[in-house]
Amino acid sequence: MRLIRKVFLRVFCVLMPKTAARFLGKHMMTPYAAPPIKAQSQAEATRMRIPYAHGWLSVSVWGGGPTILLVHGWGGRSESLGAAVDPLVKAGCRVVAYDAPAHGESSGERTSMVECAGAALQMDGRFGPFHAVIAHSFGGPTAALAHKHGLESDRFVLMGAPLSVMDLMIDMGQALGATNRVLELMIRGFEARLRFRSEELRTDRLVEQINAPILIVHDQEDKVVPLDHGATIAAAAPQGSLVATNGLGHRGPLTDPDVVSTVVEFVLKDVPIQDCVMST
């Protein structure tokens, strides 16, 4: 069946390249429902809806104190980074997580990195400035783009972040059987509709402008986003550091106890002791 779909798309691309580019673009902007990550927090959350664009953003808030924003990846939802919630709340911090547009309980069927960055800015306006932002995968460049346009945070954690969302789309399109011509038309269509140049959304270019400590966590066996993406991002950041894990894949670091401890320790490093005291 997969081979038949690939052949069909290839023929579609050859016969109707512009239509195929629009079809593929819509497909790329439609989040899939990733398998849930079992990392439910034991802390009690306050849940709310916040108006955004033509609908709502679903938001969860835990605890009180210096605020940590969690930004999930493509196909994820607010619970995706839930393993970090309890230790941060116990340390005296407030944690804010939300479903990005067209994800989870938030409104929409399709979305883009630009729109998701706008949602992160909405969180900043409501709950910021942040002591830290912890982001996974697609959430990494999203948070970096939001920072470029005003999101404030003292430090960042990017886990499994891609170097270029546009390049990932091209790789995915090639795997599906799309021609290079159609993929080029698709990217040009994104640029025209959303009014950006692909280079503007490269994560390494975005983190160059972040003058704050950035922890890059990336697994050596990540088959979704290879390790060299994380290494390049870490090298581009003025205060970037790389932690390379082994055997956890793309989503495993989100729930690995050692990784979670490393992330929490990094996040809490500069929190005033009177505001954030680790429980014993």
| Same domain membership, residue 187 and residue 67 | no
Q: Tell me, what's the pLDDT at 4?
A: 65
**Which of residues 194 and 249 earns the better pLDDT score?**
249
Q: Given pLDDT bands bounded at 50, 70 and 90, which one contains residue 265?
A: very high
| Same domain membership, residue 139 and residue 7 | no
| Same domain membership, residue 114 and residue 88 | yes
| Same domain membership, residue 194 and residue 78 | no
Q: Does 38 fall in a domain?
A: no
Domain count, the chain: 2
Q: Does 39 fall in a domain?
A: no
Q: Given pLDDT bands bounded at 50, 70 and 90, which one contains residue 273?
A: very low
- The string of DSSP codes covering 119-179 is HHHHHHHHH-SEEEEEEETTHHHHHHHHHHTT--EEEEEEES--S-HHHHHHHHHHHHT--
Average pLDDT for 159-176: 92
**Which of residues 161 and 24 earns the better pLDDT score?**
161
Average pLDDT for 84-113: 95
Phi, psi of 154 (to 5 degrees): -80, -25
| Same domain membership, residue 142 and residue 105 | yes
Q: Does 14 fall in a domain?
A: yes
| Same domain membership, residue 250 and residue 139 | yes
| Same domain membership, residue 68 and residue 193 | no
Residue 34 has what DSSP assignment? Answer: P
Q: Is the pLDDT of residue 126 over 50?
A: yes
Round the average pLDDT of the chain to a whole number and report it: 90
Q: What percent of the chain has pLDDT over 70?
A: 93
Given 176, 201, 226, which residue is the final one in a domain? 201
Contact 253, 259 (CB under 8 A): yes
| Same domain membership, residue 155 and residue 227 | yes
Q: Does 138 fall in a domain?
A: yes
Residue 76 has what DSSP assignment? Answer: -
Range of the domain at 214: 49-163+205-280
Q: Given pLDDT bands bounded at 50, 70 and 90, which one contains residue 2?
A: low
| Same domain membership, residue 185 and residue 64 | no
pLDDT digits (tens, 9 = 90+) for 169-212: 999 888 888 899 999 999 999 888 888 888 889 999 999 999 99
| Same domain membership, residue 225 and residue 133 | yes
Contact 72, 111 (CB under 8 A): no
Q: What percent of the chain has pLDDT over 90?
A: 74
Least reliable range by pLDDT among 144-148, 229-233, 268-272: 268-272
> What's the one-letter identity of residue 147?
H
Q: Given pLDDT bands bounded at 50, 70 and 90, which one contains residue 1?
A: low
Q: Tell me, what's the pLDDT at 270?
A: 72
Distances from the Cα of 126 to the Cαs of 59, 147, 201, 205, in angstroms? 11, 15, 24, 27
